[in-house]
A and B are shown apart, each in its own frame.
Chain A
Amino acid sequence: MPATDTILDIQALTIRFHTRQGLVSAVDGLDLALRRCCVLGLVGESGCGKTVMSHALIRIEAPGRIEGGRISFFGRDGAAVMLDALDPGGSTIRRIRWKEIAMVFQEPMTSFGPQHTIGAQIGEAMALHGIASGRALQSAVVASLQSVGMPRPEQTARQYPHQLSGGMRQRAMIAMALSCHPNILIADEPTTALDVSTESQILELLRERQAELGMSILYISHNLGVVAQIAHEVAVMYLGRIVERAPVGVLFASPKHPYTRALLRSIPRVDRDCSGSIEGLSGNIPEPFARPAGCSFHPRCPDRLVGICDQVAPALRRMDDGSEVCCHLYRECAHG
Chain B
Amino acid sequence: MAEPTPLLEVTNLSKSFALRGGFFDTPKGVVQAVDRVTLSIARGQTFGLVGESGCGKTTTARMIVRVVEPDGGEITFWDDELGRLDLCMLSGRQMRPLRRKIQMIFQDPYASLDPRMTVLRIVGEPLRATGCTDQRATRERVAEVLEMVGLRHEHMSRYPHAFSGGQRQRIGVARALATEPRLVVADEAVSALDVSVQAQILNLLRELQGRLDLTYLFIAHDLGVIRYICDVVGVMYLGRLVEVADKASLFRSPRHPYTEALLAAAPRPEPGQPIVHLPAPGTVPASGCPFLPRCRYQKDICTREAPELRQVAPGHTVSCHFDLGLTGV
Contacts and interface: CB of A to CB of B under 8 A. Distances in A.
Interface of A: 45-47, 195-197, 199-201, 203-204, 207, 222-226, 228-229, 231, 248-249, 252, 262-275, 278-282, 284-285
A262 B229 CA distance: 19
A223 B198 contact: no
Interface in B50-103: 52-53
A271 B227 CA distance: 9
A279 B53 CA distance: 27
A213 to B, nearest CB: 19
Given A268-B225, A270-B263, 15 more contacts: A195-B221, A196-B262, A196-B266, A197-B278, A204-B275, A222-B195, A223-B267, A224-B269, A249-B272, A252-B271, A270-B266, A270-B268, A270-B329, A284-B164, A284-B166
B280 to A, nearest CB: 8
Contact of A262 (B196, B225, B265, B272): B196
Nearest to B54: A195
B277 A270 contact: no
Contact of B223 (A226, A266, A270, A279): A270
A273 to B, nearest CB: 7
The 9 closest A-B pairs by CB, nearest first: A280-B200, A280-B199, A225-B267, A268-B228, A266-B199, A45-B194, A271-B329, A197-B278, A268-B224
Contacts of B221: 195-196
B53 A195 contact: yes
B196 A270 contact: no
Interface of B: 52-53, 164-167, 194-203, 221-225, 227-229, 251, 262-263, 265-273, 275-278, 281, 329
Contact of A225 (B263, B269, B278): B269
Residue picked from A45, A207, A262, A264, most chain B C-beta under 10 Å: A45
Nearest to B190: A268
Residue picked from A45, A263, A265, A267, most chain B C-beta under 10 Å: A267
Given A197-B277, A270-B224, A278 B203 contact: yes
Contact of A279 (B199, B263, B329): B199
Given A197-B278, A204-B275, A270-B329, A278 B266 contact: no
A263 B164 CA distance: 18
Contact of A269 (B194, B268, B278): B268
B129 to A, nearest CB: 30
B200 A281 contact: yes
A326 to B, nearest CB: 18
A139 B59 CA distance: 44
B199 A200 contact: no
7 contacts: A224-B195, A228-B269, A252-B269, A265-B199, A270-B266, A280-B196, A280-B200
Given A224-B195, A278-B203, A270 B227 contact: yes
Residue picked from A207, A280, A285, most chain B C-beta under 10 Å: A280
A267 B165 contact: no
B195 A263 contact: yes
Contacts of B224: 267-270
Given A45-B196, A196-B221, A269-B224, A226 B267 contact: yes
Nearest to A193: B53
B272 A222 contact: no
Nearest to B281: A197
